[in-house]
Amino acid sequence: MPANALTLSAADKPSKLRLLGMPAGELVEFFENIGEKPYRAKQIMRWLYQRYVTDYAEMTDLSAALRKQLAEMTTLALPPVLKHEHSDDGTRKWLLDVGANQAIETVYIPEPDRGTLCISSQAGCALDCAFCATGYQGFNRNLTSAEILGQVVLAARELAPARITNVVFMGMGEPLANYRNVLPVAHLLLDDQAFGLSRRRVTISTAGVVPQILKLASDCNVALAVSLHAPTDDLRDKLVPINKVHPIAELLDACWKYAEGQASRSITFEYVMLDGVNDSVAQARQLVKLLRNRPAKINLIPFNAFPESEFRCSSKAAIDAFWQTLRNAGLIATIRRPRGDDIAAACGQLAGRVRDRQRVRLGDRVIGASSS
Ligand code: SAH
pLDDT, tens digit, for every residue of 50-104? Answer: 999 999 999 999 999 999 999 999 999 999 999 999 999 999 999 999 999 899 9
CB 177 within 8 A of CB 122: yes
Three-state DSSP state, 201: helix
**What would you report as the CA-atom Rg of the chain, rounded to the nearest whole angstrom?**
21
Angle between helix 145-159 and helix 179-190 axes, rounded to 10 deg: 40
**207 touches ligand 1 (CB under 6 Å):** yes
Q: What pLDDT score does 51 carry?
A: 97
- The reported pLDDT for the residue numbered 21 is 97
- Which helix H or strand E contains 31, and what residues bound it? helix 24-33
The amino acid occupying position 191 is: D
Q: Cα(47)–Cα(58) distance, rounded to whole angstroms?
A: 9
Rounded Cα distance between 372 and 364, Å, is 12
Q: Is the CB of 301 under 6 A from ligand 1?
A: yes
pLDDT value, residue 22: 97
Among 107, 131, 229, 336, name the best residue to mutate to test ligand 1's pocket (greatest count of ligand atoms within 8 A of Cβ).
131
Annotated catalytic residue 129: no
% of the chain beyond a pLDDT of 90: 81
3-state helix, strand, coil in the chain (%, to 5): 40, 20, 40
Which residue, among 146, 175, 137, has the nearest Cα to 355 in the 3D structure? Answer: 137
The confidence score (pLDDT) of residue 357 equals: 57
User: Is there a contact between 274 and 311 (Cβ–Cβ < 8 Å)?
Assistant: yes
Checking DSSP bridges between strand 202-206 and strand 223-227, what pairing results, if any?
A: parallel
The closest-lying atom of ligand 1 relative to the alpha carbon of residue 226 is 8
3-state secondary structure of 339: coil
Write down how long the chain is. Answer: 372
CA dihedral 234, 240, 241, 246 (to 10 degrees): -80
Q: What is the pLDDT of residues 34-58, one digit of tens each?
A: 999 999 999 999 999 999 999 999 9
Is 118 annotated in the active site? Answer: no
Q: pLDDT value at position 363?
A: 45
Q: Is the peptide bond before 161 cis (omega within 30 degrees of 0)?
A: yes
Distance 207 CA to ligand 1 centre (A): 8
Q: Inform me whether the pLDDT recorded for 371 exceeds 50.
A: no
Give 286's Cβ-side CA count (13 Å radius). Answer: 16
Residue tagged active-site, from 26, 58, 105, 310: 105
Nearest CA-CA partner of 70 in 14, 17, 20, 11: 17
- CA distance linking residue 35 with residue 25, whole number of Å: 16
DSSP 8-state assignment for residue 199: G
132, 220, 313, 347: which one is catalytic?
347
Q: Distance between CA atoms of 121 and 203, rounded to whole angstroms?
A: 13
Give distance in angstroms: CA of 161 to centre of ligand 1. 29
Decide if pLDDT at 4 tops 50. no
Q: Decide: pTM greater than 0.85.
A: yes
CA distances from 207 to 56, 113, 244, 297, 365 (A): 39, 28, 12, 16, 16
Q: CA distances (Å), 191 to each of 106, 150, 242, 247, 251, in order?
A: 22, 16, 32, 34, 29
129 Cβ below 6 A of ligand 1 = yes
d(CA 173, CA 126): 8
For residue range 115-150, list pLDDT tens digits in order.
Answer: 999 999 999 999 999 999 888 888 999 999 999 999
Beta bridge partners of 108: 92, 117
The rounded Å distance from CA 172 to ligand 1 centre is 9
Q: Tell me, in angstroms, the distance from the centre of ligand 1 to residue 227's CA.
A: 7
How many CB atoms neighbour CB 218 within 10 A?
A: 9
pLDDT in tens, 156-174: 999 999 999 999 999 999 9
Whether the per-residue pLDDT at 276 is higher than 90: the answer is yes
Mean pLDDT of 277-287: 98
Angle at CA 34, nearest 5°, toward 31 and 40? 25
Kindly give the interhelix angle for 210-219 and 248-260, rounded to the nearest 10 degrees: 0
pLDDT value at position 370? 30
